Amino acid sequence: MRSRRRYLAALALTLAGTAFAADLRLPLRSRVEAFKGSGVWEEVRLDAALPIPQTAILICDMWDRHWCSGAAQRVQALVLRMAPVIDQARARGIQIIHAPSETMEFYQDWPQRQRILRIAPIQPPAPLGLTDPPLPIDDSDGGCDTADTFYKAWTREIATLPMGAADAISDDGPRIYSFLRERGIRNLLVMGVHVNMCVLNRSFAIKKMTNWGIRCVLVRDLTDSMYNPKDRPYVSHDQGTELVVEHIERYWCPSTSSVDLMKALAAQVQGTTDGHR
């Protein structure tokens, strides 16, 4: 009888682990130019199955302060929607990576920082050489939509964004790539700011990681742009952000929404619960 109980306990743990590691079934949005050279891009939808152990979230440059007061206000609102997503993803076993650029001194003794520094370097592959067309908005003056002058305002990530014990902190692309490879992570959900700048261009961001073969997904409603409606193409700030999102969907990676991500996480929880019935 005791042997049977041990067997059943081991089986339960195995089933629990299998259920916990179930795929994250996530609706994605992309764009295709069906007739090449036509300039006509159509929105397409697809479903992706992302294994939880092979998936991470990267939070880009959600700083405590920003030189542009309009951008700072939007970050403060954005973090209120981002934090519950991070908490739920972490609870389901998704690795969280914080990438607040130019603030690593603040985190030098944090275990989340030390975790990624201990990873042995893995040389990234040769870039895929993907096409990099110009953005559909003009951000050449910095993109601030309030009358502010640049200065280095940030010292750390915004404190209202949750930091978990198993999270990692880095602003170095090759180190983050090594961390992903060492953990067997090949899918990267990217959120944070700004979508036309750091989210695309940092050494750890969408362009670089995509060129290194990491499968990126932009969480399109958990980002913002540095865009002033007084500049080309003379649309609202939100419309300018959406134009950049569509550009990314055309040339770099698909996107998802936080609503769909939360639904997928909830469904993964339900699958775990069903597996224990």
Residue 5: pLDDT above 60? no
Task: Flag whether 100 is in a domain.
Answer: yes
Task: Flag whether 251 is in a domain.
Answer: yes
Task: Flag whether 142 is in a domain.
Answer: yes
Q: Are 145 and 228 a contacting pair, CB within 8 Å?
A: yes
Averaged pLDDT of the chain: 92
Of 269, 276, 277, 265, which is closest to residue 24 (Cα–Cα)? 265
Model confidence pLDDT, tens digit, residues 76-105? 999 999 999 999 999 999 999 999 999 999
Task: Flag whether 21 is in a domain.
Answer: no
Task: Flag whether 7 is in a domain.
Answer: no
Task: Flag whether 226 is in a domain.
Answer: yes
Task: Flag whether 45 is in a domain.
Answer: no
Question: What letter does residue 54 receive in the DSSP assignment?
Answer: G
Kindly give, in sequence order, each residue whose CB lies less than 8 Å from that of residue 277, ignoring residues fewer than 6 positions away.
none
Q: pTM surpassing 0.95? A: no
Check which CATH number belongs to the domain holding 173 and give it: 3.40.50.850
Task: Flag whether 35 is in a domain.
Answer: no
What average pLDDT does this structure show over 65-70? 98
What average pLDDT does this structure show over 173-189? 98
CA-to-CA separations, 127 to 18, 130, 165, 205, 266, in angstroms, rounded: 35, 8, 33, 14, 36
Model confidence pLDDT, tens digit, residues 160-169? 999 999 999 9
Residue 9: pLDDT above 80? no
Number of domains in the chain: 1
Beta bridge partners of 192: 60, 223
Beta bridge partners of 49: 25
Question: Domain of 181?
Answer: 52-275
- Cα–Cα dist 264/219, whole Å: 13
